[in-house]
Amino acid sequence: MRNVVFIGLVSFFADLSTEMVYPIIPLYLTGAFGATPALVGIIEGIAESIAALLRVFSGYASDKCRRNKPIAFAGYAAGLVYKIVLLFAASWSGVLAARAVDRFGKGIRTAPRDVLVSESGNPARLGYSFGLHKALDMAGSAAGILAAFFIMRSWQGTFGYKRLFLISCIPAVASLFMFFFIKESTARRGEHSANPRLLEGLTKLDFRLKLYLAVVFVFTLGNSSNTFLLLRAADVGYDPASVVLLYFVYTMVSSLLAIPLGKFSDRVGRKRVLVAGYLVFAAVYGAFSWGAGKGVILGAFVLYGLFTAMSAGVERAFISEIAPIELKGTMLGLHSTISGAALLPASIIAGFLWSGFGPAVPFALGASLSLAAAVILGAGLRKL
């Protein structure tokens, strides 16, 4: 469990750095460069797709060479480069380049990091291990958002954005330092082939895993980038600093609930928690679609934190349990690739629907697809 804590601290500092920047990117694009919601959607979709396409290859590389720590380190190092590129960005294309670097790193690190978590804790308590990691991850996000909020309260114009980008480099360096305390063990996979047969393994996957990956794709088609949630909050009257504070509420709720909900999934099963999570997400997007008041939007951000706590760690524990052990990294990466690949059309569609018909339509679409995902998963895995 010591390893899980230090892996969590890597994520804590990395997310502290990232979330100091992420909530203001849509505001930076629209305020400094005049970007439209459609352009924001394209930028986010491209950036996330880069990460998605890399994750399955990164996971396969970790299975093949059984070395997760160096790959994860390289991915987190890209997060530091991202902030530096942002400092020198002079147009929306520069921001796109910076986001591409950041998501490149995300694509490299996610699968090997998740394998490290799965192999560092008690196999019977995977929900708790992933919940602990997610709690530290989201706590870092909350700290970063809160720091951004207070810095934004005192800034003036474009210089304030640049100053925030520079300060965010400090925790990015701290996250890399945490790697010195992580010890990698391949003992649990030592008896398996170092040259996993990818295509053969994919054809023999557990039915539950195949079904869940299909459900993830359906769900993600309606789960557009979080930037649209932030734009929606601004649309109903929240000022930029308050938008950041709303995102802080979301991350705090997720951080506080990740461990208890991870442990809960150890007791009652992953499916029940995941299905309930999709139902919560449908309620969240329904509120963003039809709720016009600030109070409704605040409640939606709270529920969104609950959904993240119910899904992010639990789904990784579920995949780790049912994936072939010699392809565990590949399957964790494939899950991220599928969800990320669907995010590109999801974000582009959401951006154009918003621009053409208003914000209610893309969120209504997301709520509908989340309900469909809950039904498919619940009916397809009746015995779990």
Single-letter residue type at 94:
G
Position 383 scores a pLDDT of 54
* Residues 269-298, mean pLDDT to the nearest whole number: 89
Q: What is the DSSP string of 123-155?
A: GGGHHHHHHHHHHHHHHHHHHHHHHHHHHHHH-
pLDDT for 129-158, tens place per residue?
888 888 898 888 888 878 877 777 776 555
pTM (2 d.p.): 0.74
Position 223 scores a pLDDT of 84
Q: Which residue has the higher pLDDT, 300 or 186?
A: 300
- What is the three-class DSSP state of 253? helix
Position 191 scores a pLDDT of 47
* Residues 318-335, mean pLDDT to the nearest whole number: 78
Distances (CA, A) of 254 to 16, 147, 288, 314, 328: 15, 18, 18, 13, 26
Distance CA 179, CA 143 (A): 20
Using 50, 70 and 90 to split pLDDT, how confident is the model at 280?
A: very high
* Residues 18-34, mean pLDDT to the nearest whole number: 77
Q: Domains plus CATH for the chain?
A: 2-177+198-380 (1.20.1250.20)
* Residues 305-310, mean pLDDT to the nearest whole number: 92
Q: Which residue has the higher pLDDT, 98 or 157?
A: 98
pLDDT for 184-241, tens place per residue?
765 545 444 445 555 555 556 667 788 888 888 888 888 877 878 888 888 888 887 7
Position 203 scores a pLDDT of 58
In this predicted structure, the answer to whether residue 288 has a pLDDT above a threshold of 70 is yes
* Average pLDDT taken over every residue of the chain: 81
Whether 29 and 166 have beta carbons less than 8 Å apart is answered as no
